[in-house]
Amino acid sequence: MNNVKRPMFLFLWGLQVKLRQEIMEIFEVVKDKLGFDSKRYSTLLLVCAIALPVSFMILIMYQNPSFDLSGGLAKAEKSGNVPIINADFKNDSSPPAFIPDGRLRKRHLPPGFGNGTSSKNNSLPHANETDEKKQLNRTLSPGFRKESGSRNDSFGNGTSSKNNSLPHTSGPNEKELNRTLAPGFRKESSSRKDSFGNGASSKYNSSPNAGRPDEKQDNGTSAPEFLKESDSRNDSSQSTRMPDDKLLDGLLAPGFDERSCLSRYRSSLFRKTSPHKPSSYLLSKLRRYEDLHKRCGPHTKPYNKAFKRLKYSHGSSGGCNYLVWIPVNGLGNRMISLASTFLYALLTDRVLLVELGNDMSDLFCEPFPNSSWMLPKNFPRGVEFRSPDKRHARGYGNQLKNGIINESMESLPSYTFLNLDHSHYDLDRLSFYCNQNPTLLRKVPWLFLISDQYFAPSFFLTPTFKKEVQRMFPEKETVFHHLGRYLFHPSNEAWGLIIRFYQAYLAKADERIGLQIRVFNTKTTTVQTVLDELLKCTQKEKLLPQVDPQSPVATPSKNQRSKAILVTSLYTEFFENISSTYWAKPTVTGEAIGVYQPSHEEIQHFGDNMHNMKAWAEMYLLSLSDVLVTSAWSTFGYVAQGLGGLKPWVLYKIEQGNTRNPSCVRDLSMEPCFHFPPTYDCRTKTKMNAGSLFPYLKYCEDLDWGVKLVGDHQELQL
């Protein structure tokens, strides 16, 4: 008899003994009253007294074979009639201590134990959602707001962070944001600065998102279906559905942990397929570089060996040479210079390591598989990192000039600096662009490069690199487009900002128009002057819809189109003017217009990680535009157009209050402008005009002396 039925058997056995005694007493009384004294009747009564209780016991035990004690107690527990033995009612979500967790029956468990997770957090999402759900927890509250009393409420959604209406999203197929927000009808009343989630667009919204019932969300809530079949005037709107090419035509390597960097393989869901395909030679160079970085990256044996030799004034590398990028200036300058530095690493077989610092932490994912590009924290950051004078003294050009480095030396210095930033010191630039003693430079184990320029075009001018770089980029104007998409993947924190804003305000629009507006000096150029030039440009080029001043309401249409206008600026005046215009009057064509501004910081903050994260998110959002207007000289706009593969309309810079007519021009290519190219012809030792040397290198539209890479044919179809 098993352990479960044994207590029941003993219970019933005792019961039948008690019944037998009671029956015997009853029979004795009956016998006395009736006067029976025969032994035969006594025997009969004894048999009955034994048989009846035993029969009753057998009937109960075998009528229901599944009956047991634990089942009975469980039913009693469920009905509330019997308390659980040894249960701790102070924590009723925990199982009784004497019952092993693995033996608990699911139907007997308290709420929260059914999925085997901890009872303390039984309402939390599944583990596979964890990485994306915590995207902003370290830096921002769920509504994108900083936990501070700053009057700049940053990436907040304009509403109280207690009641966040922008839930975390794991990807483009979720519809949650479109249900919870009525974009444009919330306004931050307590703060003058709008947020990265509900810009001040609330007041003037005629957005495609507003007023659309949930049942119509199938046309725009999922990222892959963002683009409807449309008659958009923008010739880049080609497909009705963005294909899921998560490797970007082989540009990206497979095998990364997707949860560690959600944006890497999901960016293709939010962009049209690029018509510019990377060359097979570029792909092979990237794969070889990834192998090199894995073999020689931080904390490998070759790295440790080269690291030890830094303390010696001279020495060999031990097999791997390194290129350390040191940032200067704003985020846009840093990104275009970092892309150029990576190209130099590809051309010279050096391992790229980056010194991002605190103000660039958590902006980007690691770009290389199975290794890090971060300069280790234990790396000696000497005074040269912070002092331009010290860097210049240890600069390659200065060392060549003073004979510290020469061809007769048996052992070269263990490190040197390349100062390629925009400064008055030009010895390094001259030596680098003229490619003086390239063999010597290749032998220096550690090369520290400082730049705020997009110097990639210089490699097309250097005989040593020209042929190689042309093989890598047969389409000359795609250098930053390919390298930028390879290197710069928003971190999970930044990706959260981007996707929540995109899905809430931009996803459902038939066309997205990006306006990147930079006012360089408010003392010499007023915001109103820049606004006037912007409106002249957009009206002349028909980039923004015209309003109908005679009609208070647009004519209803079943096929009403929608446009979302994204404004990025340090100031609110541009957003307020444009949004009030479309709020006050309908468009001539009856389009629904939404105007949005993620943030407005009023001044550019240097050394501020949160400021840089907002800037990075806005650059990325601009790159998702169909039509783009940028400001002259602005590296912020360069990054956006390069990542998006867009040729923007460029607003001319206003000099000393003087404007130009027309106020803007269509750019020659998607490439950034090289603001300060070499002007010295190393071969003839005379001044040269870099913008006229080759058909694929032209002077920039926004900067007379700058040059940029264009298509091989100067006459581009604009």
In this prediction the pTM is 0.68
- Contact yes or no for 651/534 (Cβ under 8 A): yes
Q: Residue type for 132, please?
A: E
CA distance 669 to 626: 15
Q: In this model, does residue 635 exceed pLDDT 70? A: yes
Q: Return the pLDDT at 240.
A: 35
Q: How far apart are CA 605 and CA 586, in angstroms?
A: 38
Of the candidate ranges 231-235, 340-344, 614-618, the one whose mean pLDDT is the lowest: 231-235
Q: In terms of Cα–Cα distance, which of 417, 421, 430, 395 is closest to 337? A: 421
Residue 316, pLDDT score = 62
Domain-wise residue ranges, the chain: 5-108, 154-277+494-718, 280-472
Burial 70-92 (b: 16+ CB within 10 A, else e): eeeebeeeeeeeeebeebeeeee
What was the pLDDT predicted at 391?
Answer: 80
Model confidence band, residue 698 (pLDDT cutoffs 50, 70, 90)? very high
Q: What's the confidence (pLDDT) of residue 32?
A: 58
CB within 8 Å of 651: residues ≥ 6 apart: 517, 530, 533, 534, 537, 629, 630, 631, 632, 663, 664
Q: Which residue has the higher pLDDT, 405 or 632?
A: 632
Is pLDDT at 692 greater than 90 in this prediction? no
Q: Are 475 and 707 in contact (CB under 8 A)?
A: no
Separation CA 78–CA 83 (nearest Å): 9
The predicted model gives 628-648 an average pLDDT of 98
Structure tokens at 138: 């370290």
Query: Pick the residue with more confidence: 531 or 95?
Result: 531
pLDDT for the residue numbered 59: 57
* pLDDT score for 687: 82
Q: Note the pLDDT of residue 395.
A: 86
Provide the residue count of the chain.
718
511 vs 357: which has the higher pLDDT: 511
* φ, ψ at 682 (rounded to 5°): -65, -30
Cβ atoms of 582 and 206 closer than 8 Å: yes
**Confidence check: pLDDT of 243 > 80:** no
Residue 88, pLDDT above cutoff 70? no
- Give the rounded distance of the alpha carbon of 602 from its chain centre: 25
- Residue 266 banded pLDDT, cuts 50, 70, 90: very high
Give the least confident one: 159-173, 285-299, 492-506: 159-173
Measured CA to CA, the distance from residue 136 to residue 33 in angstroms comes to 93
Distance, CA of 616 to CA of 139 (rounded, Å):
15
Distance between CA atoms of 245 and 250, rounded to whole angstroms? 9
User: Poorest-confidence range of 134-143, 358-367, 405-414?
Assistant: 134-143
Amino acid 400: pLDDT: 86
Q: What is the DSSP string of 554-605?
A: PPP-TT--EEEEEEE-S-SHHHHHHHHHHHHS-BTT--EEEEE-----SSPP
Per-residue pLDDT at 284: 98
> What are the tokens at 507?
């996803």
* Lowest mean pLDDT across 188-202, 417-431, 625-639: 188-202
Residue 463 phi, psi (nearest 5): -55, -35
Q: Which of 184-188, 191-195, 709-713 has the lowest mean pLDDT?
A: 184-188
Q: Could you give phi then psi for residue 595, rounded to 5 degrees? A: -120, 130
The pLDDT of residue 204: 38
| The pLDDT of residue 641 is above 80 | yes
CA angle 681, 682, 684 (to 5 degrees): 70
Structure tokens at 713: 């044919």
Q: Give the Cα separation of 601 and 358 in Å (integer).
A: 19
Q: Give residue for tokens 């770089």.
A: 469
Indicate the residue type of 624: L
pLDDT at 22: 65
Q: Copy the structure tokens of residue 92.
A: 């009723």
**Which two three-digit tokens encode residue 404?**
């510290």
- pLDDT, one tens digit per residue, over 10-49 is 666 666 666 666 666 665 655 555 555 555 556 555 656 6
Confidence class of residue 604 from pLDDT cuts 50, 70 and 90? low
Q: Give the pairing of strands 680-681 and 322-326.
A: unpaired
Sheet with 446-450: list strands edge to edge: 351-354, 322-326, 446-450, 415-419
- CA pseudo-torsion sign 404, 406, 411, 414: positive
**Does a cis peptide bond (omega within 30 degrees of 0) precede residue 662?**
yes
**Residue range 399-416, pLDDT digits in tens:** 888 888 877 777 788 899
Question: What is the rounded CA–CA span in Å between residue 371 and residue 299?
Answer: 9
CA-nearest of 691, 684, 675, 689 to 434 is: 684
Average pLDDT score over the chain: 74
pLDDT of residue 375: 94
Count Cα atoms within 13 angstroms, Cβ side, for 184. Answer: 25
DSSP string, 133-174: HTSSTTT--TTS--SS--S--TT--SS-GGG------SSTT-
Segment 639-647 shows an average pLDDT of 98
The residue with greater pLDDT, 118 or 262, is: 262
Predicted confidence (pLDDT) per residue in 427-477, tens digit: 788 888 887 777 788 889 999 999 999 999 999 998 899 999 999 999 999
Q: How confident is the model at residue 384 (pLDDT cuts 50, 70, 90)?
A: low
What is the distance between the alpha carbons of residues 411 and 309, in angstroms, rounded to a whole number?
12
- What is the pairing mode between strands 627-631 and 649-651? parallel
Per CATH, domain 154-277+494-718 is 3.40.50.11350: yes
Task: Give the H/E segment covering residue 370.
Answer: none
pLDDT > 90: percent of the chain: 45
The predicted structure's pLDDT at residue 607? 65
Assign 186 a pLDDT band (cuts: 50, 70, 90): very low
pLDDT for the residue numbered 149: 37
The residue among 237 and 686 whose pLDDT is bigger is 686
85-99, 609-623, 678-692: least confident range: 85-99
